[in-house]
Every structure is written in structure tokens, then in C-alpha cells.
């Protein structure tokens, strides 16, 4: 089997910068609290009605295509990772396809919902398709428009201050050098604690329906006049149950355990050591998480790329945005061993080792 490689990479972040000070003006928080706990100074928010998860993904994809030397019409397959899709359905893959103007192409589109590790899952899928010879140009996109779904009241402050909008994309192609390209990808999940970091409404999980008379209705078929409320009930609105919720400390403890674990697993499989890593690009969950992972792997500051300070946590977009920035800054050179790793809601986590 041949290897696959990242042939082109791009990212897009919206123009609007939202500082911690700006958030402090609308909810009970402070620049000091946010920086101390997360390292974040500012994040970007997309333009409502103009930008969406799929349009930002398309902007990143155009750059990735150009750098890979292909026209979007040459894309064989699209993998789109997001937790903040434009629509409940259909997924963003087909919307991005339309945005790129390649609807008449033969390309298929797949949407994946693996939150912070979505890009790594997508990269692994692309790797399998390319190295088996099925496809030659697979586009992997991670994009998030978090700002449209956050709770800007004090109730949501522990989650809202962390997240930002943006998109990253790569084109995965066959590698002409068997020594170079994606050496391995490792993917894991454990649904035991699914609700510890979740956005459970709207959803078909059989919460309860509320009749127009205000009665709760939790079995059988709801009366016809409640159909419009199947996904979001009045109670959900009242209790703010339609926003992301997170048990931050629980997530933190698991993240600092799983990041190093899955990186060591990839190194072991490829017969490499932490000292072989040229650059670690971790999912930008929280600067404190990245720093603890760095320490546990014994890496120097210049071996880890962090940009959460500028963009916050952009979930599925964070790894490709960070990788692209590092590459643009000349921190990813021919022959370098690049390690990508992510952990997030699900919980799902993963890693990839790439010989550039
Ligand atoms: N501003 C001011 N005060 C706040 C804010 C805020 N934005 N948010 C919470 N607080 C308060 C709390 O109400 C609490 O007050 P209390 O002591 O009076 O009750 C106090 O700060 C401490 O709250 P904790 O939630 O215990 O704060 P913690 O130190 O755990 O930090 C944080 C919260 C930053 C979310 C941290 O737990 C964390 O980073 N967890 C990892 C989760 C993560 O990174 N998630 C990102 C998505 S998942 C992923 O990408 C891996």
C-alpha cells in the first residue's frame, strides 16, 4: 500500500476579533480569569447571515486546493467535520460542495461528528481512501461557527469564553515518496461520559414534549399541535438546555491523560520516540492542557504550536488552523516529524504522525 500526504493546507478565520474585555462587558467574566484559566486573549466571530460553517470551510478549502495545485473540480471526496453545522440536516459536506461550485463533479461528501477530534478522524478516513488507491484528492475540512450557539448570559460563561469561529482544510493525496506522508493515525472513543461535554438539544433523545396547554407529554405520540416542539420545548428554553454544557474540570483531567497516551501509542507503532517529534500541533482546547501535555512529553516550547491565545478553541478547526499557521511560519519543513493530537466531547480522541 502506498502512503498518503498532506499536499495542500489552508485556513480561514473571520475578521471580527472579540476580546476578553468585550465579553466582560456582556457577562460576568474578566480578562484576568479567562487568560489565567485558558490562555485565551481573543477569538473570532463570523458575520451573521453572511458567513456560515460551510462558507468558512469553503474559504479554507480554496486555499488548500490552490496550494495542492488542483482545481476544486478535481476533488474526489469531501470529509467535513463540525459540531456547529449550518443545518440540522443535510450536513455541511454537500453545502461546501455547492459553495465550491463542484456539484456536477463525481465527488462524494461525508459529514463526521467527532467534535474536537473531528479533523483527526477526517484525516484518518482520507488516509485510508488514498492509500488503498480509491481516491487521489480527498478534501478534509474542520470548521466551526460556535458564536451562533453560545449562551451569552452569565449562566454560560464557563463555556462561552472558550470558543471561537474558524475553519481549516487539507488536501490529502498519494505520496510519491514511501518514506514521507501520514505514518499512522490512532483513533479512540468512549461514550461513558458523553454528557460531560455535550449539546444535547435539539435532539431526538426522547426528552419530553410540552403540549400547547403547558402539559408535559413524555410517552407515545404527542398530539398534533406539539409537533413543532419535538426538538426544543418551552422548558428547554426556560432552563437554557439548548446550549453546550461542560464539566470543565472533569474534561481537563481526562484530556491531560489521553493526549500523551494516544501520542505514545502512535510513536510506539512507528518505532519512534518523543525526541523524534519536530513539532506537536495539539488541538487548542486550553493552553493549560497543551502546556501539561508538553511537559509530560518533555518537549521544548519551540516544539509545540499554540495559537489558542488568538482564536480560542475552534474545535474541529483547531488542528488544521494551527498546522497551517505553523507551516506558513516555516515551522513545518521537509523531513520534519509532525505530531497531531486531539481530545474532546464524546469522549473521542486521536493522534497522527506525519513525515513532512
Ligand atoms: N469568568 C469568571 N468566572 C468563571 C467563569 C468565567 N468565564 N467561568 C466559571 N467561572 C467561575 C465558576 O463559577 C467558579 O466560581 P465559584 O468558585 O464561585 O463556584 C470558578 O470560576 C471556578 O470554576 P471552575 O469551572 O471550577 O473553573 P476551572 O478552574 O475548572 O476552569 C475551565 C474552567 C477553564 C473550563 C477548565 O475547567 C477547563 O479548561 N477545562 C477543560 C475543558 C476544555 O478545555 N474544554 C474545551 C472543550 S473540550 C476540549 O476541547 C478538550
Domain shared by 123 and 20, yes or no: yes
Contacts of 31 (CB under 8 A, 6+ apart): 19, 20, 21, 24, 41
Residue 299 lies inside a defined structural domain of this protein? no
Inter-CA distances, 350 with 41, 62, 76, 198, 262, Å: 27, 26, 25, 19, 6
In the set 65, 92, 116, 339, the catalytic residue is: 116
- Quick check: bond before 202 cis, omega within 30? yes
Residue 30 lies inside a defined structural domain of this protein? yes
Residue 266 lies inside a defined structural domain of this protein? no
Domain shared by 43 and 106, yes or no: yes
Q: Which residue has the cell 455541511?
A: 92
In the set 283, 286, 306, 307, the catalytic residue is: 283
The pLDDT of residue 220? 55
Domain shared by 171 and 208, yes or no: no
Pocket test residue of 32, 155, 252, 290 for ligand 1, highest count of atoms within 8 A of CB: 252
Domain shared by 113 and 218, yes or no: no
CA atoms within 13 A on the CB side of 11: 26
Domain shared by 77 and 139, yes or no: yes
Which residue owns the Cα nearest ligand 1 atom 40?
Answer: 248
C-alpha cell read off for 251: 474534561
Going from the Cα of 57 to the center of ligand 1, the distance in angstroms, rounded, reads 29
Which residue owns the Cα nearest ligand 1 atom 23?
Answer: 158
Domain shared by 20 and 104, yes or no: yes
Pocket test residue of 23, 28, 37 for ligand 1, highest count of atoms within 8 A of CB: 37
Going from the Cα of 15 to the center of ligand 1, the distance in angstroms, rounded, reads 27
The pLDDT of residue 203? 74
Which residue owns the Cα nearest ligand 1 atom 15?
Answer: 158
Pocket test residue of 193, 262, 286 for ligand 1, highest count of atoms within 8 A of CB: 286
The pLDDT of residue 282? 98
Residue 315 lies inside a defined structural domain of this protein? no
| Phi and psi torsions of 72, nearest 5° | -50, -30
Residue 295 lies inside a defined structural domain of this protein? no
Query: What would the 3-class secondary structure string for the chain be?
Result: CCCEEEEEEEEECCCEEEEHHHHHCCCCCCHHHHHHHHCCCEEEECCCCCCCHHHHHHHHHHHHHHHHCCCHHHCCEEEEECCCCCCCCCCHHHHHHHHCCCCCCCCEEEEECCHHHHHHHHHHHHHHHHHCCCCCCEEEEEEECHHHHCCCCHHHHHHHCCECCEEEEEEEEECCCCCCEEEEEEEEECHHHHHHEECCCCCCCCCCEECCCCCEECCCCCCHHHHHHCCCCHHHHHHCCCCCEECHHHHHHHHHHHHHHHHHHHHHHHCCCHHHCCEEEECCCCHHHHHHHHHHHCCCHHHECCCHHHHCECHHHHHHHHHHHHHHCCCCCCCCEEEEEEEECCCEEEEEEEEC
Q: Which of 224, 54, 237 is nearest to 139 (CA)?
A: 54
Which ligand 1 atom is the nearest neighbour of the CA of 249?
37
Going from the Cα of 29 to the center of ligand 1, the distance in angstroms, rounded, reads 11
> Can you tell me the distance from the alpha carbon of 318 to that of 223, in angstroms, rounded to the nearest whole number?
44
Q: Which of 80, 67, 70, 143 is nearest to 108 (CA)?
A: 80
Provide residues with CB under 6 Å of ligand 1: 29, 33, 37-38, 116, 157-158, 161-162, 197, 246, 248-249, 251-252, 255, 283, 285-286, 289, 313, 343-344
Going from the Cα of 302 to the center of ligand 1, the distance in angstroms, rounded, reads 27
The pLDDT of residue 157? 95
Residue 211 lies inside a defined structural domain of this protein? yes
Longest Cα–Cα distance of the chain, Å, equals 68
Give per-residue pLDDT as tens, 240-285: 777 888 999 999 999 999 999 999 999 999 999 999 999 999 999 9
The pLDDT of residue 216? 55
Domain shared by 94 and 231, yes or no: no
Domain tally for the chain? 2
- To the query of whether residue 283 is one of the catalytic residues in this protein, the response is yes
Domain shared by 127 and 38, yes or no: yes
Going from the Cα of 232 to the center of ligand 1, the distance in angstroms, rounded, reads 27
> Can you tell me the distance from the alpha carbon of 72 to that of 220, in angstroms, rounded to the nearest whole number?
48
Residue 281 lies inside a defined structural domain of this protein? no
> Can you tell me the distance from the alpha carbon of 117 to that of 115, in angstroms, rounded to the nearest whole number?
6
- To the query of whether residue 324 is one of the catalytic residues in this protein, the response is no
Inter-CA distances, 164 with 108, 173, 235, Å: 29, 30, 28
Q: Which of 213, 242, 271 is the last residue of a domain?
A: 242
Going from the Cα of 158 to the center of ligand 1, the distance in angstroms, rounded, reads 5
> Can you tell me the distance from the alpha carbon of 168 to that of 95, in angstroms, rounded to the nearest whole number?
16
Contacts of 138 (CB under 8 A, 6+ apart): 75, 76, 77, 78, 79, 125, 126, 129, 130, 171, 172, 173
C-beta separation of 94 from 77 below 8 A: no
Q: Which of 10, 51, 3, 308 is nearest to 163 (CA)?
A: 308
Domain shared by 27 and 159, yes or no: yes
Q: Which of 225, 242, 259 is the last residue of a domain?
A: 242
Which residue owns the Cα nearest ligand 1 atom 14?
Answer: 158
- CATH number of the domain enclosing 129: 3.40.47.10
Domain shared by 134 and 232, yes or no: no
Domain shared by 124 and 235, yes or no: no
Which ligand 1 atom is the nearest neighbour of the CA of 23?
7
Domain shared by 43 and 163, yes or no: yes
In the chain, which stretches have pLDDT less than 50?
213
Q: Which of 242, 271, 295 is the last residue of a domain?
A: 242
Going from the Cα of 36 to the center of ligand 1, the distance in angstroms, rounded, reads 10
The pLDDT of residue 232? 63
Residue 338 lies inside a defined structural domain of this protein? no
Q: Which residue has the cell 488552523?
A: 321
- To the query of whether residue 313 is one of the catalytic residues in this protein, the response is yes
C-alpha cell read off for 223: 398530539
In the set 146, 313, 324, 339, the catalytic residue is: 313
Which ligand 1 atom is the nearest neighbour of the CA of 37?
34
Domain residues for the domain of 215 are: 200-242
Amino acid at each position: 500500500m502506498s502512503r498518503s500526504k498532506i499536499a495542500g493546507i489552508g485556513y480561514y478565520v473571520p475578521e471580527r476579533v472579540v476580546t476578553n474585555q468585550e465579553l466582560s462587558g456582556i457577562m460576568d467574566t474578566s480578562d484576568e480569569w479567562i487568560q489565567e484559566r485558558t490562555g485565551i486573549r481573543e477569538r473570532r466571530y463570523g458575520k451573521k447571515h453572511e458567513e456560515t460553517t460551510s462558507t468558512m470551510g469553503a474559504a479554507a478549502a480554496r486555499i488548500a486546493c490552490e496550494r495542492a495545485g488542483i482545481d476544486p473540480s478535481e476533488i474526489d471526496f469531501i470529509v467535513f467535520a463540525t459540531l456547529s453545522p449550518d443545518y440540522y440536516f443535510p450536513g455541511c459536506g454537500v453545502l461546501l460542495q455547492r459553495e465550491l461550485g463542484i456539484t456536477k463533479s463525481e465527488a462524494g461528501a461525508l459529514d463526521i461528528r467527532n467534535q474536537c477530534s473531528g479533523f483527526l478522524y477526517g484525516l484518518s478516513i482520507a488516509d485510508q481512501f488514498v492509500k488503498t488507491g480509491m481516491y487521489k484528492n480527498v478534501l478534509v475540512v474542520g470548521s466551526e461557527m460556535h458564536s451562533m450557539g453560545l449562551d451569552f448570559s452569565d449562566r454560560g460563561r464557563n463555556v462561552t469564553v472558550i470558543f471561537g469561529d474558524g475553519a481549516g482544510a487539507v488536501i490529502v493525496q498519494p505520496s510519491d515518496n514511501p518514506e514521507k506522508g501520514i505514518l499512522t493515525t490512532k483513533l479512540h472513543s468512549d461514550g461513558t461520559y458523553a454528557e460531560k461535554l455535550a449539546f444535547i438539544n435539539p435532539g431526538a433523545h426522547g426528552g419530553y414534549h410540552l403540549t400547547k396547554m403547558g402539559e408535559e407529554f413524555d410517552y407515545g405520540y404527542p398530539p398534533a399541535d406539539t409537533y413543532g416542539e419535538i426538538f426544543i420545548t418551552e422548558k428547554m428554553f426556560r432552563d437554557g438546555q439548548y446550549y453546550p454544557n461542560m464539566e470543565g474540570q472533569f474534561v481537563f483531567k481526562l484530556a491531560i491523560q489521553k493526549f500523551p497516551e494516544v501520542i505514545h501509542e502512535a510513536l510506539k507503532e512507528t518505532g519512534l520516540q518523543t525526541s523524534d517529534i519536530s513539532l506537536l500541533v495539539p488541538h487548542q482546547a486550553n493552553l493549560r492542557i497543551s502546556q501539561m501535555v508538553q511537559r509530560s512529553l518533555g518537549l521544548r516550547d519551540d516544539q509545540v504550536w499554540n495559537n489558542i491565545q488568538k482564536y480560542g478553541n475552534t474545535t474541529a478547526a483547531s488542528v488544521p488552523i494551527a498546522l497551517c499557521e505553523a507551516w506558513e511560519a516555516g515551522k513545518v519543513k521537509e523531513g520534519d516529524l509532525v505530531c497531531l493530537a486531539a481530545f474532546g466531547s464524546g469522549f473521542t480522541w486521536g493522534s497522527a504522525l506525519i513525515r513532512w
